[in-house]
Amino acid sequence: MKKYESKQELINTIKNTLNSYLSEFDDILENEKNRVIIGVDKTPAQNISYQLGWVSLLLDWEKNENAGHEVSMPKVGFDILTPPKRG
């Protein structure tokens, strides 16, 4: 993993990466957010939801680790055999 010279360098890298990621959605209209494209595994809305889910999970792991708790992977209660409920 890359080592950063300073906290500010890490913050700048995160901001630049986020801006680059978000710019990929600039040209997507509201009525296209759920459009399925052959060869792409997620719609634009699903892609953003997926990323937000990961960020939420990472922040939760960080919070638990800083509180002295053991981090569980996958999250406690996660069942790979049961798909998530929709709607």
The residues spanned by each domain of the chain are: 7-66
pLDDT in tens, 44-68: 999 999 999 889 888 998 999 999 9
Tens of pLDDT, residue by residue over 3-55, are 999 999 999 999 999 999 999 999 999 999 999 999 999 999 999 999 998 89
Q: Secondary structure of the chain: what % helix, strand, coil (to 5)?
A: 50, 0, 50
- Which pair of structure tokens corresponds to residue 35? 């459009």
How far is it, in rounded angstroms, from Cα 68 to Cα 63? 9
- Token pair of 74, please? 């996958």
Task: Return the C-alpha torsion angle 56, 58, 63, 66, nearest 10.
Answer: -170
